[in-house]
Amino acid sequence: MIAWVSPSDAAFGAVAELFDDYRAHYGQQRAYGATRQWLQDQASSGMRISASFAAGRPCGLLTALVMPASLTLGTFWMVRDLYVLPEHRGSGHARALVTHAVAAARAADARRLSLQTEQDNTAARTLYRSLGFHEVDGYLSYSIDG
């Protein structure tokens, strides 16, 4: 089962715990209280949070931002986070989460749904291509530390 989750949902605490697992997976120190508060603040500011469930517990999550597409006077969606617990990988949870986000973005008349991943994340790149995503030529990604 896939569902959008908000801070008022009973599953929000378990989803925040899963998000803390995701952070730990990428080397961040666990901090459930801070993670839950951050996730709640982001959800209150418009971040969409989707969770995949197995046996009534969240085992995968996806976050997406809805952003203005100013030139076309519309919106676009950007997937920011996608994570499935290691023991649930290969069971279709990531595919279901991304498919759910694509359907929601299309239903909201979004101009596009974008995402990014590391070049060496072969599994993610294969999944995204199989769902119809393509690499965008002609754009470079830049950032600066805060």
pLDDT tens, residue order, the chain (146 aa): 999 999 999 999 999 999 999 999 999 999 999 999 999 999 999 999 999 999 999 999 999 999 999 999 999 999 999 999 999 999 999 999 999 999 999 999 999 999 999 989 999 999 999 999 999 888 878 888 88
pLDDT at 142: 86
Place of tokens 């002609």: 138
Query: Is the CB of residue 16 less than 8 Å from the CB of residue 39?
Result: yes
**pTM of the predicted model, to two decimals?**
0.93
pLDDT at 65: 96
d(Cα 41, Cα 135) in Å, to the nearest integer? 31
pLDDT at 139: 83
Architecture of domain 2-130 in this structure: 3-Layer(aba) Sandwich (3.40)
Query: Is the CB of residue 43 less than 8 Å from the CB of residue 66?
Result: no
d(Cα 122, Cα 81) in Å, to the nearest integer? 16
> DSSP characters for 72-115?
GTEEEEEEEEEEE-GGGTTTTHHHHHHHHHHHHHHHTT-S-EE-
